[in-house]
Amino acid sequence: VCPVGAIVRETEEKNVAMDKAEYKGVWVYVEQVGGQARNVAHELLGQGRLLADALGQELAGVIIGEQVAGLAKEVFANGADKVYLVEGPEFSHYNTDAYTITLTDLIKTYKPSVILMGATNDGRDLGPRVAARVGTGLTADCTNLGIDEPTGLVAWTRPAFGGNIMATILCPEHRPQMGTVRPKVFKKPEPDFSRAGEVVRVTSKVKAADLRTKLVDLIQVCTASCNLEEAEIIVSGGRGLCKPENFALIEELAEALGGAVGASRAAVDAGWKPALHQVGQTGKTVGPKVYFACGISGAIQHLAGMSSSDIIVAINKDPDAPIFKVANYGIVGDVLEVLPALTAGFKKLKG
């Protein structure tokens, strides 16, 4: 087993018919929903700017949607030099076929060297399909990015073997170098709206016959309480809550604070909360301003998903629980007694 962060290089003879010198530039796929860019897009623009500067290349944002030209200002403000814009009614909602065809066409036409995408539900669907169509690899669920100095390639870092090691992956023989990055891994850059750039409008090549599925209806199955990636306050519960009914205490505190509800893997595996709420290695990576860990011991897999939070408040009756090692504030006590007291206190402050 290689040590954490180590790069293991395997040399083998390859014969790839590709002129890598033709591929230049760093692209960020700007995922949007209802005309609003997802936070992960802004986070990746900030990191993409750093990569582009290190490589001496330009940074471009790719915007696909219906009536989304207004997003270009935000993309430029967050560091992009150029925007590739594709608009049409076929992009009003995410559609696998329409978006795959479009992004694939953009890549084959303009030949970027690097593409960054968010490891969201849509990004995890779109990224592998596009990578397969253009004949390249894709590193999924990255938690860090950098430049490998000996080769000048992007170094994609992601957890491996259940989080026991961090694998750093290179893509030396194929282009573009592609990867999905978990939301909240990087902080959003400070926007500079004095920045401007070039907008390249590209005509959609999607035909009605290309679309194998159509959206019949949109059913909202989850409220803001489980929108973990965008939340500034998250209240998470774990096995220490003892039974599913006690998650009502988590929900009450989250409601009082205007936050989202999270859960540990143990709580999700027990059926106490749907997987949409899971925080951790195999769940969602979050980085809110305040994270409450209630009845959560602090296994490494959970810490991997929330350790970038600005402030961590831990509540656990075990004073030696690992969660206290990363917490800014710790309360040693019965979570079933502490949560109602906290909720009452915050409600009083709000009143």
pLDDT at 88: 93
pLDDT band at 2 (very low <50, low <70, confident <90, very high): very low
- Are residues 195 and 249 both part of a single domain? no
Q: For residue range 3-36, what is the model confidence (pLDDT) as tens digits?
A: 444 445 444 444 556 788 899 999 999 999 989 9
For residue 219, being part of any structural domain is answered with no
CATH assignment of the domain containing 254: 3.40.50.1220
- Is 100 part of any known ligand binding site? no
- Are residues 266 and 123 both part of a single domain? no
Exposed, middle or buried, 109 (CB in 10 Å: 0-12/13-18/19+)? exposed
- Is 264 part of any known ligand binding site? yes
- Is 313 part of any known ligand binding site? no
pTM, two decimals, is 0.74
- Are residues 70 and 168 both part of a single domain? yes
Q: Which of 210, 245, 275 is the last residue of a domain?
A: 210
- Is 299 part of any known ligand binding site? yes
pLDDT at 220: 65
SS3 179: strand
pLDDT at 4: 47
pLDDT band at 225 (very low <50, low <70, confident <90, very high): low
Q: For residue range 42-61, what is the model confidence (pLDDT) as tens digits?
A: 999 999 999 999 999 999 99
Let me know: does 251 contact 262? Beta carbons within 8 Å.
no
pLDDT at 222: 59
Let me know: does 197 contact 82? Beta carbons within 8 Å.
yes
pLDDT at 5: 47
CATH assignment of the domain containing 181: 3.40.50.620
- Is 327 part of any known ligand binding site? no
Q: Which of 157, 175, 210 is the last residue of a domain?
A: 210
- Are residues 119 and 244 both part of a single domain? no
What is the number of structural domains in the chain? 2
Cis amide linkage into residue 89, ω under 30° from 0: no
pLDDT at 16: 54
- Are residues 54 and 136 both part of a single domain? yes
For residue 221, being part of any structural domain is answered with no
- Are residues 237 and 205 both part of a single domain? no
- Are residues 113 and 244 both part of a single domain? no
For residue 150, being part of any structural domain is answered with yes
Q: For residue range 121-131, what is the model confidence (pLDDT) as tens digits?
A: 899 999 999 99
Res. 82: pLDDT tops 80: yes
pLDDT band at 301 (very low <50, low <70, confident <90, very high): confident
- Is 295 part of any known ligand binding site? yes
pLDDT at 305: 85
- Are residues 195 and 133 both part of a single domain? yes
pLDDT band at 223 (very low <50, low <70, confident <90, very high): low
Res. 319: pLDDT tops 50: yes
The Cα–Cα gap between 226 and 235 comes to: 10
- Are residues 34 and 163 both part of a single domain? yes
- Is 279 part of any known ligand binding site? yes
pLDDT at 15: 52
- Are residues 286 and 331 both part of a single domain? yes
pLDDT band at 253 (very low <50, low <70, confident <90, very high): very high
For residue 240, being part of any structural domain is answered with yes
Q: Which of 1-5, 112-116, 240-244, 344-348 has the largest mean confidence?
A: 112-116
- Is 316 part of any known ligand binding site? yes
Q: For residue range 138-165, what is the model confidence (pLDDT) as tens digits?
A: 999 898 899 998 999 999 998 776 666 7
- Is 177 part of any known ligand binding site? no
- Is 281 part of any known ligand binding site? yes
For residue 176, being part of any structural domain is answered with yes
For residue 10, being part of any structural domain is answered with no
pLDDT at 31: 96
pLDDT band at 226 (very low <50, low <70, confident <90, very high): low
- Is 282 part of any known ligand binding site? yes
What rounded mean pLDDT belongs to the chain? 89
Nearest by Cα to 306 from 293, 328, 287: 287
Residue 155 belongs to domain spanning: 20-210
- Are residues 153 and 94 both part of a single domain? yes
- Are residues 42 and 191 both part of a single domain? yes
pLDDT at 159: 78
For residue 217, being part of any structural domain is answered with no
Let me know: does 150 contact 195? Beta carbons within 8 Å.
no
The Cα–Cα gap between 37 and 142 comes to: 20
For residue 8, being part of any structural domain is answered with no
Mean pLDDT of 161-189: 86
